[in-house]
Amino acid sequence: MTSTTRTHATPSPGAGAAAPREVRVAVIGSGFAGLAMGITLRQRGETDFVLLERAEDVGGTWRDNTYPGAACDVQSHLYSYSFAPNPDWPRSYSEQPEIQAYLQATADRYGVRAHCVFGAEVTAARWDDDARRWQVWTTAGEFRAQVLVSAAGALADPTYPDIPGLDTFEGTVMHSARWDSSHDVSGRKVAVIGTGASAVQIVPAIQPQVESIAVYQRTPAWVIPRTDHPVKPWARRLYRLVPGLQRALRGVLYASREFLVIGLAKRRAFLKPVGRLARAHLHRQVRDPRLRAALTPDYTIGCKRILISNDWFPAVSAPNAELVTAGIAEIRPRSIVTRDGVERPTDTLVLATGFHVTDLPIAERIRGRDARALAEVWAGGMVSNRSTTVAGFPNLFLLVGPNVGVGHTSMVYMIESQVAYVDDALRTMAAEGLAVLETTPRAQEAYRELIARKSQGTVWLGGGCASWYLDEHGHNTTLWPDFTFRFRKLTRALDRENYVGIPAGAPVREQGEAA
């Protein structure tokens, strides 16, 4: 297996330099989702698969986001695989290095690292209807697979702001997700653009070292206290001795977070206490009325992601900090100019400006039966059946695709739900001897309606904010707008009636369209 991998590890500039490698399943990505898929494949006895990873290590978002202070906003007991509990989490909310180490260890423990092809960025994938296989071109060679699973992730490709003069800046520019640890920020005049989940972690982590820090804010976020604490050694021993205890704790954490859904998606009045908590947190930590006003959101809490931090407000009100609310007019070689005509000298620019979420770049690279890219099919908004399959894209499964995102709880729960669904689809294909499995436009439409109906009245649509949860048409195409256990129920088993299957050996037809 590994030797074959090596053969393809060398990127071949000319097509046909090496014969395409045939696999049953090709998985794009080796983050939380890709690894979960790989582990599940291994456990069902499948060994003929690869994880195509553009970087040189597993971990995905947790490998890439190495900025100072990077940590998870969900407790580790919950933000981890259900099948791989870790009694040794050092903190209730773990930091990036621990989570990445957990992913590496899990990949090794379940033997999926051997299936990883590193340095293999998928440049294009196309469904070959004649061969009934996916053709996948990567920077490490060509692959052909019966089944393609995209686990490329939603927080994978950084977005860069479109600010005049950004390319003329002579200092150091770093996106939060592409942190350059060789650049020492101490004594620097730092500018941070963005006040989202990454910024509230970076700013407190670097503020004490830098000469000055200007935080450019477009919209303030609601911030609630972070109840983070180290996990005591005796507690870790206890988790090791009584695994059921950690499972129970996980259940409690899951349930308590799920209560938030009532407020977010059902009855907004239930968010009021959370809003009061956030307001009190701000009042306690920021004295200056003007700064307080600038940090107070004008939309309902929950509309944008609720942030958790105990040191964000103190950091932006530190003696060397300034919160800038005037919009940026332009960036000059050594400064940033805001629309009010103020020019602030800057030598380090941190772009905490998020990711391509509603316009996933992988969607431009995957082409279905009629050669149209997923991005084209999705031009009017991302659609799918059960967030996982798309009509016109046979044998393609999307993990962390449309309407599967969650802001209130562990994404790993959603990933495991989807992986179980894909697992059942593969089992169905094997049981029925199907070469091709494709969902129907009707199923897709029904799912779109389901999502639209569930999204009605949610705080994300009605909370009075613009967020990365909504696409350019104002539709919710990223979040699962209900209790997460309902998504799990929906994806427990393949909804066979919503799929058209073509048995292996059946003659190739023009279209596998359902009636």
Partner 1 sequence: MTGTLIRTVRKRTAAVPTTDGARLHATVEGAEDAPVTVVLAHGWTLSQAAWDDVAGLLADRVADGALRLVRYDQRGHGRSTWSSPTHPESGLSIDRLGADLAGVLDQLVPTGPVVLGGHSMGGMTIMCLSATRPELFGDRVRGVALVSTSAGDLASDPRSAGGRMARIRPGVLTAALTGAGLLERLRGLVPPTHPRHRTVVRDLLYGADATDEMVLEGARIMHASSLRAFIEFLPALGDHDKRTQLDALTRVPVEIFVGDSDKLTPERHSAHLAEALPAARLHRVERTGHMLPQERPELVVDGVLRLVAGATGRDVA
Residues that contact partner 1, how many (by CB under 8 A): 31
Residue among 266 and 334 whose Cβ is closer to partner 1: 334
Of 35, 253, 321, 451, which lies in the binding site for partner 1, with binding defined by CB under 8 A?
Answer: 321
| 507 binding partner 1? (CB under 8 A) | no
Spatial CA neighbour of 36 closest among 411, 300, 303, 367? 411
| 325 binding partner 1? (CB under 8 A) | no
| 342 binding partner 1? (CB under 8 A) | yes
d(CA 244, CA 27): 32
Question: Which residues have a Cβ under 8 Å from the Cβ of 314 and sit 6 or more positions away?
Answer: 204, 285
Question: Which residues have a Cβ under 8 Å from the Cβ of 489 and sit 6 or more positions away?
Answer: none
Of 90, 119, 345, 441, which lies in the binding site for partner 1, with binding defined by CB under 8 A?
Answer: 345
Of 57, 88, 322, 359, which lies in the binding site for partner 1, with binding defined by CB under 8 A?
Answer: 322
d(CA 279, CA 357): 29
Q: Is 368:393 a contact under the CB 8 Å cutoff?
A: yes
| 311 binding partner 1? (CB under 8 A) | no
Using left for φ > 0, alpha for ψ between -120 and 50, and beta otherwise, residue 45 falls in: left
Q: Judged by CB under 8 A, which stretch of 57-65, 109-117, 284-292, 488-496 contacts partner 1?
A: 284-292
- Structure tokens, 261: 């859904």
Question: Which residues on adjacent β-strands are paired with residue 149?
Answer: 27, 397
Of 229, 287, 473, 509, which lies in the binding site for partner 1, with binding defined by CB under 8 A?
Answer: 287
| 332 binding partner 1? (CB under 8 A) | yes
Q: Is 448:481 a contact under the CB 8 Å cutoff?
A: no
Q: Judged by CB under 8 A, which stretch of 79-87, 286-294, 365-373, 423-431 contacts partner 1?
A: 286-294
Min dist. Cβ of residue 271 to partner 1 (A): 24
d(CA 25, CA 113): 15
Q: Any idea what the Cα angle at residue 450 is, between residues 412 and 456, rounded to 5°?
A: 95
| 279 binding partner 1? (CB under 8 A) | no
Residue among 99 and 215 whose Cβ is closer to partner 1: 215
Looking up tokens 């989940």 gives: 197
| 121 binding partner 1? (CB under 8 A) | no
d(CA 166, CA 122): 28
Question: Which positions from 207 to 226 touch partner 1 by CB under 8 A, shown as an x/- string?
Answer: ----xxxx------------
Question: Which positions from 174 to 213 touch partner 1 by CB under 8 A, shown as an x/- string?
Answer: ---------------x---------------------xxx
Spatial CA neighbour of 115 closest among 226, 27, 235, 220? 27
Min dist. Cβ of residue 338 to partner 1 (A): 9
| 290 binding partner 1? (CB under 8 A) | yes
Residue among 214 and 435 whose Cβ is closer to partner 1: 214
Question: Which residues on adjacent β-strands are paired with residue 328?
Answer: 338
CA 318 to chain centre: 31
Q: Is 479:470 a contact under the CB 8 Å cutoff?
A: no
Residue among 189 and 408 whose Cβ is closer to partner 1: 189
Residue among 329 and 450 whose Cβ is closer to partner 1: 329
Q: Which residues bind partner 1 (CB under 8 A)?
A: 164-165, 168, 189, 211-214, 287-290, 317-322, 329-333, 335, 337, 339, 341-345
